[in-house]
Chain A
Amino acid sequence: MTDGPIVLVDGVEKRFGAVRALSGVTLDLQAGECLGLVGHNGAGKSTLMNVLSGIMVPDAGRIVIGGADLTERYSAVSAMAQGVRCVFQELSLCPNLTVAENARISHPAISGIGWRRRARALIGGMLDQVFPGHGISTDDVVGDLSIAKRQMVEIARAFAVTDREARVVILDEPTSSLDGVSAEKLLAHVRRYVAAGGTCVLISHLLGEILNISDRIAVMRDGGVVALDSARAFDRKSLVAAMGSVAEGLQGPAAKATPKRADAPAVLTARPETKSETLALSAHKGEVVGLAGLSGQGQTELLVRVFRHAAGTEVRGDVALVAGDRQTDGIFPLWSIAENISIGSLRQFLNGILLDHGRAQAFAQDWRARIGIRTPDVNQPILSLSGGNQQKALFARALGSTAGIIVMDDPMRGVDVGTKQEVYAMIRDEAEKGRTFLWYTTEMDELRNCDHVYVFREGAIVADLPHAEMSEEKVLHASFRDDGVRVSA
């Protein structure tokens, strides 16, 4: 390889209407390095990666790959031809096709008789290499897979090599839908790939993994790169400072030590539907109850059953849900931000039998301000927002409703550090006022906000930890079976 950068973006600008997503970004990628990219929601990370992978055409600036200026004819096709691969935050697999068929789509070199067998070998081999013990069959239909498994397939597909090498692999929030063990496997693979001369861009809100894995780190803020240096030059604190986060003290206001169980009435009890032995979950008024464990161990199913007041649950009062998989469970894509927020609270805007649009509008405005959705106008389409801001709109929908119980399905996927702290504070505040939260999360830090934590494993609840007894070690211990088979190296 030559000494020059493998990819250079120079002064790239991009606007969406009134929103300036990128304001003159200059960034170089060297062969054999992992570049960490951090920044708030709406800082422009995803937009920059869309430009890099040829999906969006920049309004100004140059894209130089391998020394050749490709700005004029850069597209998704030429990006693929140059070996630039992207794993998107919004998964881009076709849900009606199998894993192998999806692999074929992005690897047109697999063709002719026997393509199915070669596609299976390609994607299966890569999955085994990146996520050993993944438990995915190459004949599984993607729509039937959990979001974590879909993410694994997408990642393996990007790393797979046919006639074109994968020179640059962009990972946009790859670990947010993975559990801790799978995330570690992925990060180990990234290091192997980089050591072999590949280039990787890692976007993440988990500062620990950025600091551990990256060779260099770029910090974005308001559509520009505000800091770019060797990873060793940063620590957690300086990264947060560079992002301009308001959050001081990353632990945030943890739950109070005094347990509420003693004097608050129980508002719900639920038992997972499983044949194996399980504890039951209960939540008392004003509590924040955490659902922990590896991803996809039955937490979401339980939340949905509580939401539906299904048989086997005892729920007192209305329930609102904050979706984590926002494309399939949350967003109404044809609607504006205001319409997406107000749909959960329509009864509040009734004037007789008719809806008062003025009140719904004011309600959405109010929540935009309270939860800090980055948009000049709530009448903009919901899809004009970045992923994290769409998530905020879903929070606003649930918190704005009159429901006394709120269930949250790993709702912080793709939400930045500063926003997280604001939402944690809001949840504590609402809990103080008597609302009850069920909170499924795969992030250990978030469990510290909970009064009580239930750990799930293989569809059952295997541990019941009050706040005082909760520790990372205990949660991890309960998350894995004692036989040690699934414990990572």
Chain B
Amino acid sequence: MSRAAILRQPWLWAWVGALAVWLATAAFTGGTGSGQVISAALTFGAFFVIVALGQMFVITLGPGNVDLSIPACMTLAGTVSMKIMDGAGAMIPVGLAVAVAVGLAVGVINYTLIRALRIPPIIATLSSSFIFQSAAIWYNRGLRVKPPEALGDFTTAKIAGMPFIAILVIGLAVAMHILLARTIYGRSVLAIGQNMRAAGLAGIRVERIRAITYIMCATLAGLCGYLLAAFSGGAALNMGEEYLLSSIAVVVIGGTSVAGGFANVPGLWGAALFLFLLVTMLNTFGAGAGVRLVLTGLIIIGVIVAASGGRHKREG
């Protein structure tokens, strides 16, 4: 790739941002703990990336498409699977299957609301998320059930200093990249996001693709809920909270077009690391909560402006 071609890559700015905040943190601490920071960023970034992968496909379907039920779906899948496993190591695969099944069901319900009742996706997924969240509360009465020990160990395991879960999610991201770039499904999502009517008239089965996309997004959220509950010692009712906005922020900072029709996977990892490292940096600097939030907002805006500036030049 020539220099100009690299500068035009949509994922570039997220990675530049991640590197910059990491260097700034390292400079402040004189390099101590930089290794641990990276390790933590990879672990927490992995959870962000799992849900962002699904959200990216949904957002790429075009204006108005977004899944706001991700946090509720994570909570429900985490709660139900933890309770069913009830700390028994032998139940780990069953728990995984249950979490995935919860995600599938959530996706089917979301898409049914969107398609059969013709509710706009934002409203449909927001209102369904109240139901899923309430279901989680009702099911577990707010108790925290511990995950099986082996599963907890698995989510915190490292191979040669690298969090195992990060390795898994990098593999998942590679698979999703191939899904986006090299399959009929991926091309169809990109086409629908640019012009839904033209996509239908070009022979793409628009509604089938939309259904798959919403169901896949919820399933990934279910998977993320399972892993996160295992990682953090049990499912909590607010465990998904920060994943609503960050799933969207990671997608957008990563260089995917909010207007749809244009997406990329490498940017998701860059953006997830960036978001985590940014908060770490501000904590290290000793910034108060208010200042931290203001700076987080400003820096995210800065990265998005830099990234979209690059993209406008490409289209112009």
Interface size on B, residues (CB 8 A): 20
CB-CB under 8 A from B197, the residues of chain A are 328-329
Residue A88 lies at the interface, judged by CB distance under 8 Å to chain B: no
Given known A-B contacts A331-B195, A332-B195, A354-B182, A307 and B201 have beta carbons under 8 A apart: yes
Given known A-B contacts A307-B201, A330-B198, A354 and B262 have beta carbons under 8 A apart: no
C-alpha spacing A9/B191, complex, angstroms? 41
Residues on B close to A: CB < 8 A? 178, 182-184, 187, 190-191, 194-195, 197-199, 201-204, 257, 261-262, 315
Residue A323 lies at the interface, judged by CB distance under 8 Å to chain B: yes
Given known A-B contacts A321-B201, A332-B261, A355 and B195 have beta carbons under 8 A apart: no
B182, B183, B187: the one within 8 Å of A343 (CB): B187
C-alpha spacing A355/B190, complex, angstroms? 14
When the two chains form their complex, are residues B183 and A320 in contact, meaning their CB atoms are under 8 A apart? no
A360 CB to nearest B CB, Å: 9
A397 to B, closest residue via Cβ: B202
CB-CB under 8 A from A353, the residues of chain B are 183
C-alpha spacing A331/B202, complex, angstroms? 10
B34 CB to nearest A CB, Å: 39
Encoded as 1 (CB less than 8 Å from any B CB) or 0, chain A from 425 to 454 comes to 000000000000000000000000000000
Residue A67 lies at the interface, judged by CB distance under 8 Å to chain B: no
When the two chains form their complex, are residues A355 and B183 in contact, meaning their CB atoms are under 8 A apart? yes
CB-CB under 8 A from B201, the residues of chain A are 304, 307, 321, 323, 329-330
Query: Other than the known A318-B203, A321-B203, A355-B187, what 9 A-B pairs have Cβ atoms closer than 8 Å?
Result: A304-B201, A321-B201, A328-B195, A329-B201, A332-B194, A332-B199, A335-B194, A354-B178, A397-B202
Interface centre among B191, B194, B202 (most CB of A within 10 A): B202
A351 to B, closest residue via Cβ: B182
A299 CB to nearest B CB, Å: 15
CB-CB under 8 A from B187, the residues of chain A are 343, 346, 355
Interface size on A, residues (CB 8 A): 27
Residue A344 lies at the interface, judged by CB distance under 8 Å to chain B: yes
When the two chains form their complex, are residues A332 and B183 in contact, meaning their CB atoms are under 8 A apart? no
Interface centre among A333, A334, A347, A401 (most CB of B within 10 A): A334
CB-CB under 8 A from B204, the residues of chain A are 343
When the two chains form their complex, are residues B191 and A332 in contact, meaning their CB atoms are under 8 A apart? yes
Residue A226 lies at the interface, judged by CB distance under 8 Å to chain B: no
When the two chains form their complex, are residues A350 and B195 in contact, meaning their CB atoms are under 8 A apart? no
Encoded as 1 (CB less than 8 Å from any B CB) or 0, chain A from 337 to 357 comes to 000000110110010011101
Can you list 28 A-B pairs with a CB-CB distance of less than 8 A?
A304-B201, A320-B203, A321-B202, A321-B203, A323-B198, A328-B195, A328-B198, A329-B198, A330-B202, A331-B198, A332-B191, A332-B194, A332-B198, A333-B195, A334-B190, A334-B257, A334-B261, A343-B191, A344-B202, A346-B184, A354-B178, A354-B182, A354-B183, A355-B183, A355-B184, A355-B187, A357-B182, A381-B315
B200 to A, closest residue via Cβ: A308
C-alpha spacing A335/B184, complex, angstroms? 15
- Chain B: interface secondary structure? helix
Residues on A close to B: CB < 8 A? 304, 307, 318, 320-321, 323, 328-335, 343-344, 346-347, 350, 353-355, 357, 381, 397, 401, 403
CB-CB under 8 A from A350, the residues of chain B are 184
A344 to B, closest residue via Cβ: B202
B192 to A, closest residue via Cβ: A332
C-alpha spacing A478/B246, complex, angstroms? 62
CB-CB under 8 A from B203, the residues of chain A are 318, 320-321, 344, 401, 403
A328 to B, closest residue via Cβ: B197
CB-CB under 8 A from B198, the residues of chain A are 323, 328-332
10 A-B pairs with least C-beta separation: A332-B194, A354-B182, A346-B184, A321-B201, A334-B261, A355-B182, A343-B202, A334-B194, A344-B202, A329-B201
B183 CB to nearest A CB, Å: 6
C-alpha spacing A355/B191, complex, angstroms? 15
B29 CB to nearest A CB, Å: 43
C-alpha spacing A357/B202, complex, angstroms? 19
CB-CB under 8 A from A347, the residues of chain B are 184
Interface centre among A307, A321, A332, A403 (most CB of B within 10 A): A332
CB-CB under 8 A from B257, the residues of chain A are 334
C-alpha spacing A347/B191, complex, angstroms? 15
When the two chains form their complex, are residues B202 and A333 in contact, meaning their CB atoms are under 8 A apart? no
A330 to B, closest residue via Cβ: B198
C-alpha spacing A397/B198, complex, angstroms? 12
C-alpha spacing A430/B183, complex, angstroms? 29
CB-CB under 8 A from B184, the residues of chain A are 346-347, 350, 355
C-alpha spacing A346/B261, complex, angstroms? 17
When the two chains form their complex, are residues B262 and A334 in contact, meaning their CB atoms are under 8 A apart? yes
C-alpha spacing A368/B278, complex, angstroms? 48
Interface centre among B178, B182, B198, B199 (most CB of A within 10 A): B198
CB-CB under 8 A from B183, the residues of chain A are 353-355
CB-CB under 8 A from A343, the residues of chain B are 187, 191, 202, 204
CB-CB under 8 A from B178, the residues of chain A are 354
CB-CB under 8 A from B199, the residues of chain A are 332
C-alpha spacing A434/B261, complex, angstroms? 36
C-alpha spacing A357/B181, complex, angstroms? 9
CB-CB under 8 A from B262, the residues of chain A are 334
CB-CB under 8 A from A323, the residues of chain B are 198, 201
